[in-house]
Amino acid sequence: MYSSFQRTAVRSAIVATALVAGAATVYAMRVSPMIVEMTTTGSDSVARVEVQNLNAGKLPFETRITRLNFDENGVPSETPADADFIVFPPQGMLPQGARQVVRLQWVGGAEIPTSQAYYLSVNQLPIPADPTTGAQAAQVQVVYHMKALIVVAPPNAQPNVAAASVKTIDYQPPAAKQGDPLPPKVPGVEIVMKNTGRRHAMMSALKWGLEGKDVAGKPLRILISEEELNRIVGSGYVAGGGGTRVFRLPLVKAFGPGPINVKFLK
């Protein structure tokens, strides 16, 4: 399982890796919150993320920090960046049902030009096989890797997001599950947003109002809720410093030719 940033950045990314091991128990964990917003100075330069062991058996884990850069479709690329934070504890062992608070402190410098995004990866470590069980008892052990989005902003920085272009499209909904046929296409819109501010923007925290004319030339206004945006595009993260992001959304009714105006509403 791997959740892509384009659709689920507001959620933890989870990767389950199957390993052949002697342990029979399947482990699982929870990481919360899934998004942490920090600043380079002050009390918000320190944050806390909780790791919880949900299943029976011990949960050994370690943490890693990677810096994120995104393409215009919101797909991230990662580079190691453990030196930008002090993480304590960097690893641990949780008994069944136990929780551990992981403390993050920013040490990457007080002055950064724009917001910087990171993943805090919490990686379950495989438990060595019990040699007394023998080869016949070997089973698959599922190892979980969960990622929380960490964003660090300069002091007093603000986003400044505007729609650079808007056009109608035929939107292709995803399949209900992998292997299923794709549903029919529906009316949609493609919006390119640009953020010229120094702070990142989480565009799914706002309602989007679209205004234009329908195919018959009559006024058409469509309001897209925060819940729908979160379901389709995740957090709607747009990087600062001139960052751009392309959003493609399904609509309940098609816009016709002519301009479409986009407004952001609280």
Q: How far is CA 259 from CA 39, 43, 189, 211, in A?
A: 38, 45, 12, 8
Q: What phi and psi values does residue 257 have, to the nearest 5 degrees? A: -60, 155
Q: Is the pLDDT of residue 264 over 70?
A: yes
Separation CA 28–CA 203 (nearest Å): 31
pLDDT at residue 1 is higher than 70: no
Higher pLDDT, 249 or 29: 249
Q: What is the pTM of this model?
A: 0.82
Is 70 exceeded by the pLDDT of residue 144?
yes
Residue 5 has pLDDT above 50, yes or no: no
- The model's pLDDT over 170-199, given as tens digits with 9 standing for 90+, comes to 999 999 888 899 999 999 999 999 999 999
Residue 51 CB burial class (10 angstroms; 0-12, 13-18, ≥19) = buried
pLDDT recorded at residue 19: 37
Residue 193 contacts residue 216 (beta carbons within 8 Å)? no
Give tens-digit pLDDT for 76-108: 899 999 999 999 999 999 999 999 999 999 999
Q: Are 48 and 188 in contact (CB under 8 A)?
A: no
158-176 burial, b at 16+ Cβ within 10 Å, e below that, comes to: ebebebeebebbebeeeee
pLDDT band at 132 (very low <50, low <70, confident <90, very high): low
Average pLDDT, the chain: 86
Q: What is the mean pLDDT of residues 209-220?
A: 97
Q: What is the pLDDT of residue 25?
A: 41
pLDDT digits (tens, 9 = 90+) for 42-80: 999 999 999 999 888 889 999 999 999 999 998 889 999
- Residue 23: the pLDDT is 37
Amino acid type, 141: Q
From first CA to last CA, the distance across the chain in angstroms is 33
pLDDT in tens, 146-160: 999 999 999 999 999
